[in-house]
Amino acid sequence: MALIPHVIGGEKIDAAERTQPVFNPATGEQQHQLAIASVETVEQAIAAAKAALPAWRRTSLTKRADVFFNLRQLLKQRTPELSAIVTSEHGKVLSDAAGEISRGLENVEFASGLLHLLKGERDEQVSTGVDVHSVKQPVGVVAAITPFNFPVMVPLWMVASAIACGNTVVLKPSERDPSASVFIADLFREAGLPDGVLNVVHGDKVAVDTLLGSDDVKAVSFVGSTPIAKSIYERAAANGKRVQALGGAKNHMIVMPDADLNMAADAAVSAAYGSAGERCMAVSVVVAVGGVGDELVSKIAERVKELKIGDGTDPASEMGPLITAEAKARVESYVAGAADEGGTVVIDGREQRFDNDGFFTGVSLIDNVSTDSKVYRDEIFGPVLAVVRVDSYDDGVQLINDHQFGNGTAIFTRDGGLARQFEFEVEAGMVGINVPIPVPVGSFSFGGWKDSLFGDSHIYGPESIHFYTRSKVITTRWPSPEQSKVDLGFPGNS
């Protein structure tokens, strides 16, 4: 069985003290062995990144930009191959995998504009004969730690901007679907990136702890579940590193009585069950306002019955399996407990039968969910949509603002004034107006509020340039030496 290697200093390293299986979630069968990094292997990757830093930092911006232009072409050409890798290890359907690649491509396109992005500022004559300018310099070696649910897009969220800014990177992808990161490292190399600038190590807590404990790692970008994000944030900050740690979500979609209910139902089903609900921007709660509940739930249920669930390589499939057998058991446990918590189980995904041993579950729809239930409070991260009924818009917004998470949210309405009010007062980092999954385009930055993000920088886009660089401000004067004299006063402006 093929061993998925680390990529360190441009070399494929397949020596492994420990290995772990990588499954095909659609069949439930193991398809690869994964090399799990020891402390020494991670240290080797950090050393390779550190060694590559001086030359990459000195590489001209135009040459750096060339890498991203080349990478863009390669990613486009190789999308079918990369989609197949994603589907075989993650399980999402091929079209969804291609969609994730196209969203990751936005980050590559953004990074190719690095000449503009890294421009500093200059102010002439701030004092007589004195000029000031600023430059943005790389922070050094960056650790990028990513989740299973977007094995292409989330690594590209981080590594594109980090590398464009002149840093070198150690990427630790999810151990569940690691092959896409190795493929991305190969494409970067083909695009002209020097060896050692992007290293990939596979592993678990041991690898992450080594990255967090290393004095040579200067910044940490993390995306994953909230408990891990919080702990990474605390430990990286305690070790003096720059850190951004994006966590989990529970995204609410408010449906107002004036909304087009067919459109709202289409949006809710697409956003709740796409990628089997394993998206941090999935809609997991529909908030039905002022009596639209019955009609909306029946429209959602009609659509759900039509969904085709199956192997992601089958073009007829609209939704694939969950990532692991444990994830399936966990998701189904929420559905099993929903009625006891007072919810009305309109569709029970556990009842659907599949004719293979993949990690499939059907989609579930739970109505009349109460806000103190686990189905409402927890991030389930599966194809389970909760419906909460409220009397008014104000009650709906209050629900969102009271929730632990604040990643994305949406409102469906025809009332522009109300939509503006929602935008103004809702406590979430990304808001959709008649858009159920408002993932910002690559020229903006992505990030949630509250327990959906620890740190003050959102990821990719303009905020990533700030995160991955240190600014330096240079004050210059060229006085005539004859005017020079000793002056112990603090220099003021004149």
Nearer to ligand NAD, 59 or 231 (CB): 231
- Which residue number places its CB atom closest to ligand NAD? 224
With CB under 6 A as the contact rule, the residue among 106, 177, 318, 379 that binds ligand NAD is 379
Please, what is the minimum distance in Å from the beta carbon of residue 122 to ligand NAD?
Answer: 35
Contact range with ligand NAD by CB under 6 A, out of 19-27, 43-51, 170-178, 419-427: 170-178
- Considering only residues 238 to 267 of the shown chain, the ones binding ligand NAD according to CB under 6 A are 246-249
CA 63 to chain centre: 28
With CB under 6 A as the contact rule, the residue among 376, 381, 393, 467 that binds ligand NAD is 381
Please, what is the minimum distance in Å from the beta carbon of residue 161 to ligand NAD?
Answer: 15
Contact range with ligand NAD by CB under 6 A, out of 109-117, 120-128, 201-209, 235-243: 201-209
Please, what is the minimum distance in Å from the beta carbon of residue 84 to ligand NAD?
Answer: 21
Binding mask 219-238 vs ligand NAD (x if CB under 6 A, - otherwise)?
Answer: ----xxx--x----------
The CA distance from 476 to 494, in Å, is 15
269 binds ligand NAD (CB under 6 A): no
147 binds ligand NAD (CB under 6 A): yes
Which residue pairs from 366-369 have beta carbons closer than 8 angstroms and sit at least 24 positions apart in sequence? 366/335, 366/338, 367/293, 367/297, 367/343, 368/342, 368/343, 368/344, 369/285, 369/338, 369/341, 369/342, 369/343
| 280 included as an active-site residue | yes
Options 45, 111, 208, 280, the catalytic residue:
280
With CB under 6 A as the contact rule, the residue among 38, 44, 87, 146 that binds ligand NAD is 146
407 binds ligand NAD (CB under 6 A): yes
20 binds ligand NAD (CB under 6 A): no
With CB under 6 A as the contact rule, the residue among 82, 145, 169, 185 that binds ligand NAD is 145
Q: Tokens at residue 326, please?
A: 């444990």
Contact range with ligand NAD by CB under 6 A, out of 133-141, 168-176, 266-274, 388-396: 168-176
Residues that bind ligand NAD (CB under 6 A): 145-150, 154, 172, 174-175, 204-205, 208, 223-225, 228, 246-249, 280, 379, 381, 407, 448, 452
- Known catalytic residues? 280
